[in-house]
Structures are given as C-alpha cells and as structure tokens.
Chains A and B, each alone.
Chain A
C-alpha cells in the first residue's frame, strides 16, 4: 500500500515534470510566433510560385489570407502570459488531489496484489509438495502439467494427471491423457472405464462409439466394473433398449458396497428405465392414433399434398416401412397424371425428415 502510494506520487511528479518541461521550451505562442509563422508561410508561397505549383493569383490570395491571420493574431494577442506561480501550483495540486481521490474512491482496489500466473504456479507447487490434500484438483493438475516434458514417457504420470484433470472438470484433457498413458504402456493400461467416462463427458453425457469400445474393454478385463456397467446402462436407456439397461444398472448396483453414496444414483436410473419405457409406449400409441386419423382423412379426401407429405414422414419416424410403402403407392396412384406433384411430395417428405434428424439429436 505504502509502496503503491509512493509509486503513484512519483508518477504524478513525473507527469507534472512533463507539463512543466514542455511549457518552458514550447515556442508556439504570442505575437512573435505569429510573425514567424507568417514569414515562413509567405516564403513557402514564394517557393511554390517559383516552382510553378501555384499561379500568381493564388499566391496573392494566400498571402492576403496569411496577412489577415497575422493582423487578427496581433489584435488578440494575450498579455504575454507571464507565469502565474500560484495559479499553476493550485492547478497542479488540485489535479493531483482529484486523481488520488477518484482512484481511491471509485476506480482502484489498492489492496489486491498482482497475481501473475508464473508466481502463482510456484506457490501452488510449494503448497502441493507440503500438503497435496489441501490443494484443489484444478491447481494440482496445473502443478503436474509443469512436468509433462520430463515425464513424457511415464504412463503412471499421465494416468495421475488425467484423474486430476477429470476431477477438475477438464474431460477433454483427461481423455487425451488417458489415451496417452494407454499408448505408452498398452499392456498395463487398466483405466478403460475412466477413459470411457471422460469420452462420455466430452460428448455431453452421451455414450458414443469410442466410449462404448472403452467400456467393453473395461468389462473384458473386469466383468464387475461398476462404472462401465453404469454408463453402458445409460447408453441402452437412451437407445430404448430397456431390458439391457435394467441388466446393466443391476450389475452396477451389485458391484457397489452397501454404504456407497453412488447407490442412490444408480437406483434412480433404474427407476428412470421404467418411466421411460411407459412414456415411450404412450407416445407411440398417440402418434399411431394421429397417423391413422391422417390416413383416414386422406382416404376421404386425397387432394391434400401437404397431408401426404406429413403421412409419409410420420411413417418414416415410426419406422413402419410396410405402411409407408402402401401410403406411397396410394399417393402415386392418386397423382397418377400429375407426376410433378407426386415428386414434390416425396422430396418434401424426404427433406423434412433429414432436417429433423440433424436438428434433433
């Protein structure tokens, strides 16, 4: 604080010095200056006249303008501004005081020190060496990352770093580090389910193909791997394979100790399977009803291009190929003599489904 105040005072003094220095040497003022300007300008006009840049008339006009400017400067000339020490001193102290007040009251946070990353990293390293348990995973990961070059070929290091990154919420880095550990020592790599979890996090909680491979490998090594069972269960739940999901969650539950807090999470998922199954059945029934209603409507009044397109699209969504083929045949039969309309209906049914697929999931 004291140091900061001193530094600010020094800066203030320096700025005052700049003002004072400039005011002392500045030539540009007073009648003398105006006269010098006039003389220089007139000689420049002459130079330009001689070099043919301007003609005599323009030269004359410019000289008159310059003369008038000089006369104006004379009539306005200030009483050559003698230094007014008291006014100047008041101005300087006033300005400095306002600056300090504005800084302290509105702008500054003088008590917060600078915290450059390098210095903080050193402090963290020190803290981590003293007492690693008190350091947050994010900080620990940052500390460990200093050693990536030195430990480039050490799989244990990469696994450790990956775990910390996972805890710090850096799933992408964690996955990369697990993969690195695996590539360094494929035979000893046992963290497949953790890698799968990281990959799942990266894709926003969805178990993708790469994550599934990892989980399958984990189960091949250890059939009771709780984490792998849990995520595979979620994948099956999302895909609508409810029985498989149930089996996975049950297996996960079996692998957990009775007092493990994660039991409730898995149990919740198990309940979610039943709910999802019922909801899907209800939706299917409702869509089925709507579709059959639409089909009946089209039977009564087939002159409805929009309706046909929607019907075809609905069958596509339901995955009912047989019904779709029949509807298409009916539609084509109706528009027998207007193939362009039939074509456009097919195109629309196709396009909208494509759009839904990319837009939805």
Chain B
C-alpha cells in the first residue's frame, strides 16, 4: 500500500485555487439582492483555503526533506548531500517554489482578515475578502497551471541537481519568506483599499484598520530587504551591500510607498485629510510589491537575482500584475471624485509637515522608479542602450531624502492643527548643535577626494546625527520633571515605535554614509608569504588549509591581519568552496568583526604568480558597516512596537465586548 503524499499536496493546491475562486464568487453573488447573505461564507472559505494551501506548502517541504526526486522541483533544486536547512529553504529557492510561498502567505493573510477583522463592519470585511479571493485565485491558478511546484517526474532520477551554492546561506534561507511576508502584506492593504472604494466609505476608522497591516508588511519588508542586503554583502564577495540593481530597487519601491503611507495614514486618522492620497498609496504599494516579485521573472529586467523563467510564463505574470494594478487604479479614478472632501490644515502643523514628508518620499520614489525603468524604456522605444547607476541616485535620490529626513524630528515635535515653527526649532537647537558638532568631528577624521566628497560626507553625517539627537530631544522633553523612567515607559507604544524607527533610520544613515565614503579596498594577487597593506592594516598570507563540508570541499587561506602598531587584529580564514553536485565554486568571505566595522577578506580565482600558487585576494575595510544592518532592525522593531499600541487593537478589544455588552456600552445608551 503506497499513498502519494505529494499528490495529496497537488490536490490541496487545487482545492486552494477553487476555494479562492469561490470566495470571490460568493462575495460577488452576495451583492445581488436575491442572494444577499451568501457573502458571509467568504469568511469560512478563507480559512479553509489557507489550511489547504498551507498543507500543500508543508508537503512540498516534506518532499524536499525526503529528497523525493519524483517531484521535478526537488530534482532540479536539491541533492541528498545538502544540509537540512538548505533542503528546506530549497523549497522556495526556485520560481515554482517561491510562487507557492507567495500564494501560501497570500491566503494566510486572507484568513487573518477573517480571524482578526471581526471588529470591522461586516460589509467592508466581506468585500475585502472578495478582493483577496480574486488575488488568491489569480496567483494560485497561475501556480497550479503553469508553475506547479509539485509537478512529477517518472521515472525519478537517481540524484538531484542541487541548489545554486550562492543560495546556500542562512541569510538567504530566510530572506524570501521575510520579503514575501512584506510584499504580500500589502495585498491586504490593497484589498481594504478596493473594498473601501467600492463601499464608498473612507474615514478615519478605515485608516485605523489598515494601519496595522501596513505596519506588519512594512516591518517584514524592512527585515527582508536588510537580509537581502546582508546576503549580498557577505556572500557575493564584492564588499558592497547595495548596488542600485533593478531587483534591489524593485524591493525598495514598495518600501518607500509603504513608508509614505504609514505617515499619511496618521494624518488621515487624526485630521480626516489626505484620504484619496492614502488610498492611492495603498494601491501603489501592492503594485510595486508585485513588480518587485514578478518583474524580475518576466525577463524584462536582467539581474543577478533573477530566476530564469521562460517568456510565456513571464508575460502571464506581468499580465496578472497589470490587470490587478490597472483595475485598482481604474476603480480609484472612478470613485475618488465622489469621496467626501477631506479636512483642511494650516501650513505650519504636524499634518502639514507629514504632507511634506509624503511629497519628498514620493519624489524619492519617483527617482528610483525612473532610474529603474528609464533604461528599459530607452531600449524599447529608441533602441538605445543606457545605464543608470549609483551616481544618479546619489545626486537625485540623495538630496531629496536628506530633505525628507531633516523634516522628521521637526515633524515629531509639532502639534496637530496649528503649530509654532519658531518654537519647535528653538527646542531643537541644542540637538542640531550636537549633531553638527559630531558631524564636524567626523569630518576632521576624514580626508575626501574633493570638496564635493567632503561636503557629502558632512551633510550625510549631519542628517544621521540629527535624526538620532532630534528624536532623543523628544524623549527628553517627554520624560523630564521627575520619574524619568516611569514617564518613559508610560509613553504610548506608538511614540516608542516612532522614536525607535527614526533613531534606527539615523543609525542606518550614519553607517551608510561612513561606509560609502571611508571604505578602503585592495585587490592583489598573493601567494603564501606575501603581505599587502591597506590603510593602517597589514594583511599577511600565512598559509592554506583544506576543509570538508557536508556537500563541499573547501580550500582555505589563512591571513594574519595587524594594525598600525603591529598588534594582531585577527586571523582571517576565507575559503573557496567546491560543490561537486553542481560543479560550482563559491568564494566564502571571511569577516573580522570590529565593534562597528568589518575587515573583509575574499579569496577569488587562483592564479600563477611567478611559478607559485597564488590567488586573487580582495581585502576591504568597511567602517561602521554594522550600523547599516543594525539600523533597519531597529526600524522594524519600532514597527512592531507601534503595532502593539492599544489604539490599533480596538478591533480585538471589541470582539470580546461584542459578544457580551459590558458597562461601557450601557454608558452610551
């Protein structure tokens, strides 16, 4: 007796597809008068669909763990010698598997609308579930019919082809799930936006319901992008962490849109303004999320990160993208003119400063968008090859972002409705002075190529310190006058979250500015016994060693690193790993952790150096690089803190009360 678990997985995936379609169908049917009431079933169906797809995803992972090569996807991306972690992460290391991950997260979020959304008006919740069902049907349908991750192979090959060694890395094992939890989180925001547009009801309450979803998605996306950058930093071996590559930009664009929306939703909630704009951002954030996930695979963008997908499937995916986004924006265009006008605001107020923040974020987003798509457009329309790279972003994105970040501490100190700019600036004067002093000190220690480099360095440091000290000023104001600890802990969690996110951003900016300006690098062909000098550090190639991993054989180099005074800083042991299963060599970077900085050694191609065995050695000094990865973690933590704020949990609180009217309700009556 032999029952095929894999086939049960395919069946579950099919069920998830059909259930999603039915979920959308019952909501549509419920709009017809004679069928009214049937849309309630969308709730239960969303739970069933989520269970079904989660089952098929678990079954895919099981197939990877059991190395069942009768599953094409396992054959193409796994190998019996692979460590368990990478067997599991291989499940989403391919186009098909990552599509299933996407769908799983999509349907689970759909179920969460049902589970956590009981405090919402029923009609809005059901419409959102309908939209989510449509999205679910489109994506599970695509996965099932054109990219089935559980497709079979008979007879099964003896051994698998193994996963690309560059993807066999802990950071990259968790990068796609985090990224997708972020991307797909915006599907909920999108569904709520479309539902509200259909309902014609767009008020503060709506802003309060979507805000937690934006926060969840934004926090995951922040972590996901950071993990990706960290992977690029220590796995690709080029010493950098962000290349303004189209794929990186594609993940950055939804983040920028979501950041703008986080701020505009506050204005909508507090002042009943910026409604149309907030809904626009909601649709935009998911559009960019889909672009981030799928434009990469369409073959329109070429990149190191791209999954190879044949053009037909790529075009199908892009069509889903355009139809989804297009209908969202079309509905927006139809409905927005009929919305009740929003509230007004004074030019100097918290809301005005947040509008300025949104304006600058949109301009920054536009520059990333143009920089990513302009070369494509020039190629397609005028047949002219061109490039847009880091220097463009530094010149256009950079100044806009600096302006946006400069506003943040001011905005946080302003009061709603009408504020006193002069007073706020006076309160911030000390923070600015401290920031300027720190930046000036930093400049003293730095020697740039020209005035522009030094000016950029100073402005960058100033911005980072300004964000940190400006935020600390708010902490100080709110906690002075006795019992500072109690007062600090008593601040609303949303305030804690905002402060932590702003400080994290400042920390990130400091790391990025120092790393990009003061980094040192060296490339040399070295044999054992050779010495190279980089700044104050000296690198001596003292020997080689052999090591054996579970699925690779490594040749390693041993390098002694000493500082200016001759003290030994650390011993670096970078490797070149040979993966026989895929016949691939991967250089493994060695990082010497200094408190904030890294010494980074890569052993690249072997070469002959006057008859001696030698290697291309790359040696980097990356100052303050730790902050680049610490900052976003603080930001994501800030997002989580905000999420825990009581204000956003009204929905949960009401569920308990809805069942049993309490004294509070009687008070009203």
Residues of A participating in the B interface, judged by any CB pair closer than 8 Å: 3-4, 7-8, 11-12, 15-16, 18-23, 26-30, 33-34, 36-44, 46, 48, 53, 58, 61-62, 65-66, 69, 72-73, 76, 78-82, 84, 87-88, 91, 95, 98-99, 102-103, 106-110, 112-118, 120, 136, 138-139, 142, 170, 172-173, 176
Contacts and interface: CB of A to CB of B under 8 A. Distances in A.
B11 A37 contact: no
A76 B2 CA distance: 54
Given A3-B3, A66-B205, A103 B657 contact: no
A113 B7 CA distance: 8
B125 A28 contact: yes
Interface stretch (B92-100, B254-262, B289-297, B646-654): B646-654
5 contacts: A21-B44, A44-B650, A44-B654, A115-B70, A142-B159
Interface stretch (B46-54, B346-354, B363-371, B430-438): B46-54
B270 interface: yes
Leading 8 A-B pairs by shortest Cβ distance: A81-B37, A43-B664, A19-B44, A39-B665, A40-B654, A116-B66, A36-B658, A117-B67
A173 B47 contact: no
Contact of B204 (A21, A42, A53, A65): A65
B488 interface: no
Contacts of A81: 36-38, 40
A91 B44 CA distance: 13
A99 B14 contact: yes
B653 A33 contact: no
B113 to A, nearest CB: 11
Nearest to B81: A145
B11 A108 contact: yes
Contact of A139 (B52, B55, B158, B664): B158
Interface of B: 1-8, 10-15, 17-19, 22, 26, 36-38, 40-41, 43-45, 47-48, 51-52, 55, 63, 66-70, 80, 114, 117-123, 125, 144-145, 148, 152, 154, 156, 158-159, 201, 203-205, 270, 272, 492, 553, 578, 580, 583, 647, 650, 653-655, 657-659, 661, 664-665, 667-669
Contacts of A106: 144-145
Contacts of B40: 23, 26, 29, 81
B516 to A, nearest CB: 29
A21 B553 CA distance: 55
A78 B19 CA distance: 24
A78 B669 CA distance: 24
Contacts of B8: 4, 7-8, 11
Contact of A69 (B5, B43, B203): B203
A34 B159 contact: no
A88 to B, nearest CB: 7
Given A107-B148, A108-B11, A172-B580, A79 B68 contact: no
A287 B436 CA distance: 67
Contact of A138 (B43, B44, B159, B578): B159
B473 to A, nearest CB: 21
Given A8-B8, A73-B123, A114-B2, 14 more contacts: A11-B55, A19-B44, A23-B43, A33-B122, A36-B657, A53-B647, A69-B205, A99-B18, A107-B148, A108-B14, A112-B70, A114-B5, A115-B70, A176-B553
Contact of B668 (A28, A39, A69, A91): A39
B15 A99 contact: yes
A3 B55 CA distance: 18
Contacts of A4: 3-4, 7-8
A34 B121 contact: yes
A113 B6 CA distance: 8
Contacts of B145: 106-107
Given A7-B8, A40-B664, A73-B121, A115 B37 contact: no
Given A113-B4, A114-B2, A26 B43 contact: yes
Contacts of A27: 118, 655, 658-659
A76 B123 contact: yes
Given A36-B654, A112-B154, A138-B158, A53 B48 contact: no
B119 A82 contact: no
Given A19-B48, A29-B40, A43-B667, A37 B658 contact: yes
A34 B51 CA distance: 29
Contacts of B553: 176
Nearest to A34: B121
Nearest to B35: A87
Given A40-B654, A112-B154, A15 B48 contact: yes
Contacts of A82: 37
Contacts of A109: 7, 10, 152, 154
